[in-house]
Structure 1
Amino acid sequence: MKLHLIILLTFTLLIACKSSTKPTITQQPTLDDYQIGETWVWKYKGVTTEGEVRSDGTDKRMIVQMNEGLGMTISNDTIPLTDIVKVDESETPKYDWPLKVGKTWKYENSWTSQDGTTGTQSQQAEVLSYQEETVEAGTFMAYTIKYTGKTTNSRGYNADEEEIWLYAPSVKNFIKLTQSQGDFLYVEELIEYSKPN
């Protein structure tokens, strides 16, 4: 009888361990995942290796009602939520959904700044882990995604860069970004997250 009990307990423990290590896969958020009044606030700071502060402040985003549906406020703009959750058809997206540990892809981005400067980013991305991460806003299960590559622009700028993004599915957003680009270090961290009950 004791032997049967030991075997049963061992089998139960093995099943429990196996189910707890089951790989997590996260799909891209959809319109139904957001609520009016949902709010995110990040603090950010960018400093050169010589100690020059180039950016320091907070960024707040909120889900609001627009004439055509829900929108997200970003700075002085309100972007339709349909644009934010639209599937990125690019072969080199920022996030390659669904997310899962071990996944790799290439991210490329071209941009033009307000002064007319053009630039490109080319990075290799890898999902390193999915675990509890703590930031000022709290503790969340989050993916650690590492991007490594280069940024160049039309003014001759050329820098190696590394970005570590902590993406938390429960808040549908990143909770921390650490970016090292040449002699510049930028950190952005979620300090508040709330949604209506």
Structure 2
Amino acid sequence: MAVDATQQPTLANYKEGEKWVWKYKGVTTKGEVRADGKDTKEITSKNGELFMVTASETIPLAEIVKPVKSNTSRYNWPLQAGKKWTFEEHWTSEDGTKGSTIQDAEIVSFKPEKVEAGTFMAYTIEYKGKISNSRGYSAATEDIHVYAPELKTFIKLTQKQDDYFYTEELIKYSK
């Protein structure tokens, strides 16, 4: 099934009870494990309104699906193989450190991708650039997001920052 382009998910695309579970691991080139665990997101309903529940917060789904107008966002909608843009994000971490991530992005394919949760049609998006922060940290970055429109999220993610390698993979999805 060929898809010309994938639009950003809307509120109507989600259903109460949907649940995604990822496993993640982050390791330095010296073998130091900095992250190792599971992440879960689930759609719940309260008084007829849908929410996305994560480990740390409950977010109204209406906030998550607000149309993205930026041309420098993580996902530049509509998604389409061959599309290129610049991803730019400026952030403040929990300890107050300010930083930025600037990467050239390209959707290199749309094809079946297999992860522990199953096989899904997915876009492979490559991001290459730099991350820096107000504490003087600066690193070259290479990220690959494998995004499955059917699941409205990424099913696999790999990130490389200098001597640090991070992976995240969807291990379970239920409707």
- Find 2:37's aligned residue among 57, 60, 74: 57
Q: Secondary structure at the match of 2:17?
A: coil
- Find 2:24's aligned residue among 25, 41, 44: 44
Paired position in structure 2 for 1:30:
10
Percent identical residues: 58
Structure 1 residue 142 corresponds to structure 2 residue 122? yes
TM-superposed CA distance for 1:24, in Å, is 2.6
Paired position in structure 2 for 1:132:
112
Structure 1's unaligned 5+ residue stretches are 1-19
| Distance of 2:56 and 2:107 partners within structure 1 | 32
| Distance of 2:42 and 2:10 partners within structure 1 | 16
Higher-helix-fraction structure:
1
Paired position in structure 1 for 2:75:
95
Paired position in structure 1 for 2:165:
185
Query: What's the TM-score once normalised by structure 1's chain length?
Result: 0.86
Runs of 4+ in 1 over 3 A off after TM superposition: none
CA offsets 1:118-166 (integer angstroms, 9 cap, x no match): 1000011000000010000010000000000000001110000000000
How many residues were matched structurally? 175
Q: Please tell me the residue identity of whatever aligns with 2:56.
A: N
Task: Give the 3 Å change call, closer, same or farther, for CA 107–68 of structure 1 in structure 2.
Answer: farther
| Distance of 1:58 and 1:29 partners within structure 2 | 24
CA offsets 1:93-134 (integer angstroms, 9 cap, x no match): 111111010000111001111111110000110000000100
Structure 1 residue 160 corresponds to structure 2 residue 140? yes
RMSD of the alignment, in Å? 1.2
Query: What's the TM-score once normalised by structure 2's chain length?
Result: 0.97
Structure 2's unaligned 5+ residue stretches are none
TM-superposed CA distance for 1:91, in Å, is 2.9
CA offsets 1:167-196 (integer angstroms, 9 cap, x no match): 00111110000000111000000000000x
| Distance of 2:10 and 2:100 partners within structure 1 | 28
* Greater Rg over alpha carbons, structure: 1
Q: Secondary structure at the match of 1:144?
A: strand
Q: Tell me if the contact between 2:68 and 2:77 (Cα under 8 Å) persists in the aligned partners.
A: no
